[in-house]
Amino acid sequence: MRSESGAAQLSAAHLLLLLAVVFVWGTNFVVIKLAMAHLPPLLLAALRFALAAVPLVFVLPRPRVRWRNLAFYGVMIGVGQFGLMFFAMTRYISPGLASLVVQAQAFFTVGLAMAAAGERVRPYQLLAMLIAAVGIGIITGRSDGHTTALGVLMVLASALAWALGNMASRAAGRVNVLAYVAWSSLFAAPPLLALSLTLEGWPHIVAGLRAADWLTWVAVLWQSVGNSIFGYGVWAWMLARYPAATVSPFSLLVPVFGMGAAALALNEPMPAWKLAAAALVLSGLALNVLWPRWRKRWERDG
């Protein structure tokens, strides 16, 4: 089934699975906002990673990587990516734009990987980054009461932490991704809980847990079971069966689902400037992801 011929080899069932994954990942930004109606952000992040670790760590053997690799990945993804992003989403950036801006991790990941390998940025990568940067610049310069420049900067820092986590997972080599996520979550939950106790305080934590209704806990499970276990599990399973060039472009749909869900569920406004910024960021991401594939096709057909 694995073939370099691309998306033509993707079965209908697997196409639906990939769409389900990006739907879960995209709508998760709205789910986060709903959960934070009762739970403070750092506590919410701690619960997400605690439930992603347990009970999987009792079922899946620890991947054969160094503990420091697991710890670094867990802290970068748990505290750096999600802790910071959850905090930003309290009042500094809207869920729809957060789902878009955090995709800057793709450029940070490429930059870090090329710096580590001593490679130079290629022209198409530079063009892609410039296009996306213009879109993010538009977002940063437009404070509409839902998004601020500080919020954009915090989500960009979250994207950088995600990219650093990507570097750690690359260094881990070929491992069971689900086990890697579960075991690394053991290092994410404790510092998030410590930060929650320090910054949010025990009374706020208790009040949030008491106020949490069934919908809040569904939102927590949506993140831990749906986002982490189902999402990462299916994504890794697909990457083991299809070329990365077939699977990776589907990640471009995450902000599409994110912004669409925010508009429908939270009535997040979508003025022309926001749609234009989204188009620029997505165009930059698409160029960065798809250009090598397009070039190979042109060279083959030419």
* DSSP of 254-267: HHHHHHHHHHHHH-
Confidence at residue 285, expressed as pLDDT on a 0 to 100 scale = 87
Q: Which structure tokens are listed for 175?
A: 């491992």
pLDDT in tens, 211-245: 999 999 999 999 999 988 898 888 878 877 777 66
pTM for this predicted structure = 0.87
Task: Say if residue 7's pLDDT is above 50.
Answer: no
**Domain ranges for the chain:** 7-301
Task: Say if residue 54's pLDDT is above 80.
Answer: yes
- At position 34, the amino acid (one-letter code) is L
pLDDT in tens, 87-106: 999 999 999 999 999 989 88
Q: How confident is the model at residue 9 (pLDDT cuts 50, 70, 90)?
A: low
CB of 113 within 8 A of CB of 292?
A: no
Mean residue pLDDT of the chain comes to 88
The strand ranges marked E within 12-122 are none
SS3 breakdown of the chain: % helix, strand, coil, rounded to 5? 80, 0, 20
Confidence at residue 244, expressed as pLDDT on a 0 to 100 scale = 66
Name the 3-class secondary structure at 165: helix
Confidence at residue 121, expressed as pLDDT on a 0 to 100 scale = 77
Region 56-71 average pLDDT: 94
